Structure 1
């Protein structure tokens, strides 16, 4: 076999007369290369992206991959103006799908036939012990549920102790411990309650039952009934597409499915065998011959990650859990192009007998069928580099090879782009490890929305790992609020234009815009450096915020706002909004359409009232001019507008009432505050008062709610502190009043002393000894204080 350290074949970009617009980090060369499309005119770009294996809901790790790819796709199409053809596959048959589909089918059938508690308990007990024996070898054989927790802690204490896990193997062990623990708890519950709920019990023991039932009955199902598997895959393909759209990920131009490509895959494998790079084994499987491939000049295997070509764990994972070792393989690293189907596995006809595609061959056949023998871009998660994409490369170049023995010099993929992992608390999300949060779960809980998650990936970059921390969340939220507030101010200028004239400050901001455009272009041209691009946008907004805004013309601000709007829409931060429509802002910064006419009217009237009340010139004439205005001409009978109509009408009636009462200015200001803090706030609208400018009308967002909550908490703390002080003072006053009733002649008549003078002052202590002079001085001071206190009390009682 060839050495992993051998020199990589030279990579050459396609020739083009058009200067490259950008550089792309290419996993194939592990460096940044000028991006030169295969298209002779330099405009059309072909792109194949590895899609999901659809057997479960997509999680945030998948969101990381597909949202990041979507960002790059949008930038390539809408910023660099390439004409893309974007193809994505759906893997709807592989070992994981076969196992999951078969297990779910068997479990459903089993539960329908075993609804009595005795059967449920008996099978689950056996399944529990089989699961522990296979996956947790450090535990005793035939362990009983009641002993599980103690034995697990003893054998796997380091993993259960809460320390960061050192590897995926440890994470997998922790997952197995959790599964076994849940089953053990359910079995203990059933032992103590013979009338337990069978349906609930099956839910808690499902994860140990699934592999157990598969081991018993998996080979007996009718695998010619493909609906056993497609029922699962069609459900999760639909849910995957729903999840992607909820994250504002564009649909692919073309979607390919493995189950729809049986004949093409068979033809693809046949040609590889014909070209001398594949061989058939006696069971009807077909393997790729790595040694034969590398013996042909110009061919190299594992070009993406040559250091992993001997990694048996990765090789085994790439072959699938259902693949058994073959003694007929010519090389240990040779991988399956076609697998003979065993009992219980779906199959398709082939020249070698009933079988199914190997995992890697599907992408090669589908991508080649749709996009041809040479493709510009291939993308996927970083974990696909080896063996999946390395195997794709080898078998595809073997397919397109010549048969005369001459070096074919073919390059199937020009640029490989791999997205970095997403991790939380240092752990990579994985379906197999069951340590994931699904996309729909995260969105429904409000942990994220399409925009906030995309911002995280923009500031994290596409090819590097992203670890979600509290700091990164805060950074993303801060940037989103920064953009929100800028867009709010810009849209307010459209509603309330100023008549500023150009100044040097205005020109300075225009220079900042020109600089930022260059900085952003340089960033995106440098392998889509979105973190630098987002910093450039943020810095431009900072320039505006720190400037004397009175000295800046509306045109300058709106030009900046339109340009930023275009860029964030290119990044996919505003749904399906057109980046080139010349509008300002993104969704979420406007109040409801049906509210605008009435809310803007009440805001203007409130501004007038506040202005005159603060200036002290709120005359009857000015009030009359405000409250006697014609009511706005909006759709007053529109049900959706009714709450806003009521707010405007109520405000005017309240103004009239205060005017009739000739109320002071402070009452009018209090009414304005009520409108802002209660009436409109409860409708999700806030009026942000600004000196010398009309109030800024904006939706109530999470930032405003958090600020109000913090303010209310501070006010509550102040009230509670005040109430505590007042209570303490009241208690002191009460004690003082009680103390004041006592005559100084009686205050020292206690068992501590045995003799007092005529004023009640102690002379001798309890032992009959004379009170020391030093102590007597101290007691005298106390006596004098009590005398004054008592005399004040007597005077208050009319007894002075």
Structure 2
């Protein structure tokens, strides 16, 4: 090793010693964020030299031998997965990424937003191509089977980003999502099930959008289907041929000419994963399950634009004979057709980065004959189940529908909010992560219920308007939270930190409500409005908020009157019960003046009189108990079965919560478990 390289490594170690120590210190429960911090500074480099590469290989050996990357509590990821990730990181950075051009800032909406751009593998400032308008194309599903948790991770994450851009930063977002309804996987599955490919695709497309609706994912501005754009695809391919970036093979297929493209003006192939360009396995995977193996390709890495037809496959007429579109050309054509020659954002899962997205870039830049078709490429991170890829063969395949049978859409969305959208995510169905999501969901629901009740109980005309120290403290914390959340959003849509900030604000409000009788309603309403707004930006829905649904204000008022009426009866009955118990205690010693006694003397009650009074009191007690049971039945059965939960609190207060189906089932399960515990405790005492 040269002396300069050795010195570089020493200096690099010194500059990163705090991060390395952090990893070693937390080796028993290392988290993904700590692992990623180790590479943050390196990732900012657009190129990598030999010395840095040598250092990375050294780090790989260090991790391998020290066993630091095993999460001992929830098996966050096994060491082989992380080592593989580290190795891929090293290999990725061996290649130099091409130059990326930031759009001009002139006459643009500037927010100082930084986003992780796959075209630079770093955070860069987001600048729209035109004013405050964002043209966004998202790769949609290939519809041949049920959508799974990986799909949920991608589409919910980008739905959150879309809401932040449009609702929070006020950009004008035009979003397009495609449906791939012509594909090898669809054709293969339709042949297996002996149904027409279009019937199969339509069935699963409807199923996909049903899942998205249940996850509260907004519909895109435009939905494109490949089957409706075949003629446009043919025209698109013809222009690429005319630009001399493609050729026709003997069997009638059309291939993209990678070497010709690389020789073109300012063109680079493999912009995002140059290290994968010669990965034959990935290249073949991109050609599809039914791809034609041909010797007529000029280069083994050239990819297909138009597939010549084969028996039992759908086909369309073209200048090159019957065939169908290749996978990559579909997205290029549909995105260009609607959004034009430059996209602000293109998004998809990280597994699509190569070859699909790199091939899309090449095709589109060959079509328009310029060097930057997409300004910002966003890729959602991998999702693994207990450290392994999701697979039916491993029996860890979780569909969205099955997930929604156990958890609410809010709870699933919170799961993704707690993870960085572009980071690796490991999900353990039986781990602590979903318990945490349920608790956060319950925490927010209870907050709105309590806050609404407190606000309703304050009569504004008699409220104290003077601000004391606790009022000022809450107000300052609120303003600080708003600043922090804004900074978190600017930092590559940092939802984990933003959600934590909102939870802290809710905690402060709860403390304020608990310890203060005189409340500043104006401040509380402003905080409620802000929290509701941020939760809406997250795509979370809490139905008790009167402003969320039409007529819910009237329903809320009716529930409040009903709850108040029940609570009033219950309080009177409880007071009567106390009074009757006191009368019973004193009855035996009680004396009365007998009207028929000529001497008008006081005497003790006779046994008969005592029986009469006792029976009278017992009848009143029994009626009291019956009415109390009716109040409990109203709370525990009648209203609960309708999804209305009355939560009785100390000091004759109560909170009303409106539950959705999943929350209702969770509440019933919780009560059944409590009943079982009581029975077991009772049986144990009898023994």
Please indicate, yes or no, whether the TM-score normalized by the shorter chain is above 0.5: yes
Task: Confirm whether residue 373 of structure 1 aligns to residue 377 of structure 2.
Answer: no
Counterpart in 1 of 2:64? none
- SS of residue in 2 equivalent to 1:418: strand
Aligned to 1:54: 143
Please tell me whether residue 544 in structure 1 is matched to residue 506 in structure 2: no
- SS of the equivalent of 2:481 reads helix
Summarize the alignment of residues 666-677 of structure 1 with structure 2, pairs less than 5 Å apart: 674-675=629-630, 677=632
For residue 5 of structure 2, what is the aligned residue in structure 1? none
Secondary structure of the 1:555 match is helix
Alignment of 1:401-420 (within 5 A): 401=369, 408=370, 410-420=371-381
TM-score (norm 2): 0.74
Q: Which of 309, 328, 342 matches 1:360?
A: 328
1:23–1:527 Cα contact (<8 Å) kept: yes
After superposition, give the CA deviation of every residue in 1:422-444 in whole Å (9 maximum; x if it has no partner).
3222233357977523222332x
1:77 has 2:42 as partner: no
Question: 1:612, 1:88 → 2: CA distance?
Answer: 65
Within 5 Å, give how 1:648-687 maps onto structure 2.
661-662=616-617, 674-675=629-630, 677-683=632-638, 684=640, 685-687=644-646
Are 2:234 and 1:266 aligned?
Answer: yes
8 Å CA contact retained: 1:491, 1:585: no
Following superposition, the deviation at residue 365 of structure 1 comes to 0.5
Q: How far apart are residue 711 of structure 1 and its match?
A: 3.8
Deviations 1:41-94 (A, max 9, x none): 2x1110000011111121222111111111111111111111111101110111
Structure 1 residue aligned with 2:599 = none
In 1: Cα distance, 2:323 partner to 2:200 partner: 20
Q: Does 1:460 align with 2:419?
A: yes
Alignment-derived partner of residue 562 in structure 1: 529
Q: Which runs of 4+ in 1 moved over 6 A?
A: 431-434, 584-594, 611-619, 664-669
* Corresponding position of 1:603: 567
Alignment deviations for residues 738-773 of structure 1 (CA, whole Å, 9 cap, x no partner): xxxxxxxxxxxxxxxxxxxxxxxxxxxxxxxxxxxx
Cα offsets for 1:256-311 (capped at 9, x unmatched):
11111111111111111111211111111111111111122422111111222222
Q: Distance in 2 between matches of 1:96 and 1:386?
A: 18
Q: Does 1:27 align with 2:118?
A: yes
Measure the CA separation in 2 of the matches of 1:584 and 1:347: 49
Q: Indicate conservation of the 8 Å contact 2:343/2:375, yes or no.
A: yes
Structure 2 residue 184 is matched with structure 1 residue 95: yes
Counterpart of 1:118 in structure 2 is none
Whether the aligned pair in 1 keeps the contact of 2:177 and 2:224 (CA below 8 Å) is yes
SS at match of 1:716: helix
Alignment: residue pair count: 549
Distance (whole Å) between structure 2 residues aligned to residue 659 and residue 71 of structure 1 = 67
State the partner residue of 1:719: 682
What secondary structure sits across from 2:657 in the alignment? strand
Are residues 1:291 and 2:254 paired?
Answer: no
Structure 1's 372 and 430: CA in aligned 2 closer, same or farther, altered over 3 A? Answer: farther
Contact conserved, 2:547 with 2:553, CA < 8 A, in 1? no
Residues 649-696 of structure 1 deviation map (CA, whole Å, 9 limit, x = unaligned):
xxxxxxxxx999446998788567535543321120444333345322
Aligned 1:446-525 pairs, distance under 5 A: 446-469=405-428, 470-497=431-458, 499-501=463-465, 502-525=467-490
Cα distance, 1:29 vs structure 2: 0.8
Q: Shift in Å at residue 586 of structure 1?
A: 12
Q: Equivalents in 2 of 1:669, 1:699: separation in Å?
A: 29
Deviation at 1:391, TM superposition (A): 0.4
Q: d(CA) in 2 for partners of 1:582 and 1:21?
A: 34
Query: 1:562·1:585 contact (CA, 8 Å) conserved in 2?
Result: no
- CA drift at 1:516: 0.9
Residues 1:695 and 2:686 are matched in the alignment: no
Give the equivalent residue in structure 1 for 2:279.
Answer: 311
Local SS of the residue matching 2:313? coil
Partner of 1:479, secondary structure, is helix
After superposition, where does 1:9-408 map in structure 2 within 5 Å? 9-17=98-106, 18-39=109-130, 41=131, 43-105=132-194, 228-401=196-369, 408=370
Contact 1:574 1:586 in 2 (8 A): no
Compared CA separation, residues 318 and 615, structure 1 to 2 (3 A): farther
Cα separation, partners in 2 of 1:611 and 1:73, compared to 1, 3 Å: farther
Aligned partner of residue 19 in structure 1, secondary structure: coil
Matched position secondary structure for 1:522: helix
**In 2 relative to 1, CA 483–664 (structure 1 residues): closer, same or farther, beyond 3 Å?**
farther
Return closer, same or farther for 1:660/1:308 CA change in 2, 3 Å cut-off. farther
Structure 2 counterpart SS, 1:423: strand
Change in Cα spacing, 1:593 to 1:511, as seen in structure 2 (3 Å) is closer
**TM-score normalised according to structure 1 size:** 0.64
CA distance in 2: counterparts of 1:551 and 1:461, whole angstroms:
40
Q: Which has the larger radius of gyration?
A: 1
Deviations 1:449-473 (CA, angstroms, capped at 9, x unpaired): 2111111111122112322222110
Cα distance in 2 between the residues matched to 1:308 and 1:583: 51
Deviation digits for residues 380-414 of structure 1 (CA, Å, limit 9, x no counterpart): 1111001000100111111111xxxxxx4x31001
Distance 1:269 1:503 in 2: 71
Does the CA contact (< 8 Å) of 1:487 and 1:585 recur in 2? Answer: no
Question: Does the 8 A contact of 1:562 with 1:584 survive in 2?
Answer: no
Say if 2:97 and 2:272, in contact at 8 Å, map to a contact too: no
What residue ranges of structure 1 are gaps of 5+ in the alignment? 109-227, 402-407, 620-657, 725-800
Report the CA distance between 1:489 and its aligned residue: 0.6
Whether the aligned pair in 1 keeps the contact of 2:117 and 2:377 (CA below 8 Å) is: yes
Contact persistence 1:25–1:527 (CA under 8 A)? yes
CA 1:423–1:287: 2 relative to 1, 3 Å: same
After superposition, the CA RMSD in angstroms is: 3.2
How far apart, in 2, do the equivalents of 1:659 and 1:511 lie?
A: 61
Unaligned runs of 5+ in 2: 1-90, 584-612
State the alpha-carbon separation in 1 of the partners of residues 178 and 525 from structure 2. 42
Counterpart-to-counterpart distance in 1, 2:288 and 2:449: 53
